Structure 1
């Protein structure tokens, strides 16, 4: 507690929200903290959530800065990616096989749990991005079509790998304004009575979901991962939020819906998918593997029953509590320059592995989808459920259902030339399922793995299958009622 002595009290900037209630600020400290809360929160909200006029259109500031950075790099960005991914492969080999645990640096720790599977994936990732960089920068170089073609490398490297590079760099600079200076305490307090009983997660998780919807699913995963490492979420909460609320952005959803020749129904389909995501999450958090995750924080501390109940009941005092905590969080936070520096350093640590895994798994998955019958076979597994739910055109759309695990854009692409033969309700069904599946290895699932999130590969597969099985009857009810 702050007192009148000259000794400066030092608080942990990442202390749990309920412990903030034990802090008391003097008037001048309170005012300074309030100003900091307002300024930093306004910057964070403006950057991530507010659209401004730009080039005759409206865009969120985050997208404007992101697009400027990508445009500035041009095709040279692909050499940057190749250099980062190549550096990741070199560091992996050096620390894993040459030094073999003899180094104790933070950077070496990134690779300490790598296996031979990582060696294979890192090698594949480098081959893929290097060939794509050559295609984009060397006149006359064509490269193998199955790697650099529009249906494989062209669908992963420019929109996703390059996109995530920009998202991580720009996000590293601006995320502290959103996460470190109090606005999360207000959001958390206001939404805790709604989020905790339904989804078993803190109210602040709503901000992660909104970030996904307005910016990108990768940003949602990265924000969730950052808060987990700051001990804001337990392992169980983190996995629930990451796999349930990291939905695709509005812009990308429009592209998917339009590709299915359903652009005239965009608002209706997207609004329904938004509702379905939350209905599905109510179920997902109550079944394995999410239900079996431990309520333990990143630092190893177990969450108490009191913390789970704290703020879970609606009352007139929740805004007062949230506001008080927000001011105190702003007051004990590091300086802005320090937080940005720490954020950039953290992002640079995860960047090489994220880009590598996105390249390796994303392109490999699309090669499987494009050049093998694997997903055609897997589609047969879902046919009985589709028939039970009386979904139209089952034979034509069944292969689209499992392919979403590779890339959420693929289900509508798999319909391809058959789109004119498929009825509108069937196309709506495929589109809804693809949007609410959320987990796909060309982006979200790979970011989860690369950021060392507390979820295993097989658990990601199980979560995808569960979401798909739950989504099918829900989407079927929707098309029967509204289409």
Structure 2
């Protein structure tokens, strides 16, 4: 097939290859290649965040307070604090964190809180860093996972990541970004990949999905894990399977068992 033919997205192959190489190279330079500037060796995103904290501190503090204000008010305005006890607790803690942040800036409260390893450390090293790295990383992340590099790395690293860590090949980008750059960059990439469906719910502790995926040994039957893209086979989990024993939703438990019974019954009927 000629290279002049367009791809399904309406982009020619040479242009798609140029976008893959060019934009992905920008993403690699931003997230994976450390540069030494002013005696500090880290990735460009960290350098940008540090420069903003040094030369535009009032702006950075204002951005951080806006983020904290939004995070504290949003659960109470949209009603998400009612979803569960966990949401309620975290909603209260967000308000508490906003109050502490404002108190720190106004130098209110006991002096014991202003020791170098207390509020100054939390606000200067954690709050201000995250207030910059997260939005900057979100803007730059499109170069890393939006033009085909993620899929390419996923295919190349699948034989390594799957047998050793039982994760998709695409998770190699997570690992390298976390080791080379900031931990917040790794969290940002993980969240974005999960939101886009590159990671399955079965790897996120959702027992309702794990019941329907064969993982490991079931009733002494050693079978191969089909992987995230393999066929879904409802199965019974024995006493040592653990998932159903720890499952809190009894209705979902019974539904999964009923589905397994129906499928096994149909298979038995078909073989008669």
TM-score interval, normalised by the smaller of the two chains: 0.5 to 0.7
Partner of 2:117: 151
Matched, 1:118 2:90: yes
The alpha carbon displacement at 1:178 in A equals 0.7
8 Å Cα contact 1:36-1:181 kept in structure 2: yes
Return the alpha-carbon distance in structure 1 between the equivalents of residues 39 and 97 of structure 2: 38
Range with greater deviation from structure 2 (59-68 or 195-204): 59-68
Partner of 2:100: 128
The alpha carbon displacement at 1:307 in A equals 4.8
Partner of 2:64: 81
The alpha carbon displacement at 1:133 in A equals 1.9
The alpha carbon displacement at 1:197 in A equals 1.9
The alpha carbon displacement at 1:222 in A equals 1.5
The alpha carbon displacement at 1:306 in A equals 6.4
TM-score of the superposed pair, with normalisation by structure 1:
0.39
How many residue pairs match? The answer is 213
Instruction: Call closer, same or farther: CA 1:291–1:231 in 2, change over 3 Å.
Output: closer
Return the alpha-carbon distance in structure 1 between the equivalents of residues 81 and 23 of structure 2: 35
Which residue of 25, 29, 39 corresponds with 1:46? 29
Return the alpha-carbon distance in structure 2 between the equivalents of residues 176 and 112 of structure 1: 34
Return the alpha-carbon distance in structure 2 between the equivalents of residues 175 and 223 of structure 1: 7
8 Å Cα contact 1:78-1:129 kept in structure 2: no
Return the alpha-carbon distance in structure 1 between the equivalents of residues 181 and 168 of structure 2: 21
Which residue of 55, 78, 90 corresponds with 1:95? 78
Partner of 1:211: 177
SS at match of 1:231: coil
8 Å Cα contact 2:34-2:43 kept in structure 1: yes
| Structure with larger Rg | 2
Q: Deviations over 1:345-365 (max 9, x none)?
A: xxxxxxxxxxxxxxxxxxxxx
Partner of 1:279: none
Q: How does 1:359-438 map to 2 (within 5 A)?
A: none
Q: How does 1:289-308 map to 2 (within 5 A)?
A: 294=209, 305=226, 307-308=228-229
8 Å Cα contact 2:34-2:41 kept in structure 1: yes
8 Å Cα contact 2:161-2:168 kept in structure 1: yes
Partner of 1:223: 189
8 Å Cα contact 2:5-2:13 kept in structure 1: no
8 Å Cα contact 1:188-1:202 kept in structure 2: yes
SS at match of 2:83: coil
SS at match of 1:188: helix
Return the alpha-carbon distance in structure 2 between the equivalents of residues 177 and 5 of structure 1: 25
Return the alpha-carbon distance in structure 2 between the equivalents of residues 72 and 153 of structure 1: 22
Q: Deviations over 1:294-316 (max 9, x none)?
A: 369xxxxxxx9365469xxxxxx
8 Å Cα contact 1:79-1:130 kept in structure 2: no
Matched, 1:175 2:154: no
Instruction: Call closer, same or farther: CA 1:119–1:182 in 2, change over 3 Å.
Output: closer
Instruction: Call closer, same or farther: CA 1:235–1:59 in 2, change over 3 Å.
Output: same
SS at match of 1:232: coil
Q: How does 1:339-354 map to 2 (within 5 A)?
A: none
SS at match of 1:201: coil
Q: Deviations over 1:210-244 (max 9, x none)?
A: 1111112221112111001101110233x4xxxxx
Unmatched runs of 5 consecutive residues or more in structure 1:
11-24, 97-109, 136-141, 240-289, 297-303, 311-483
From the two aligned structures, give the one with the greater helix fraction: 1
Instruction: Call closer, same or farther: CA 1:5–1:78 in 2, change over 3 Å.
Output: closer
- Ranked by relative contact order (alpha carbons within 8 Å, sequence separation 6 or more), the top structure is 1
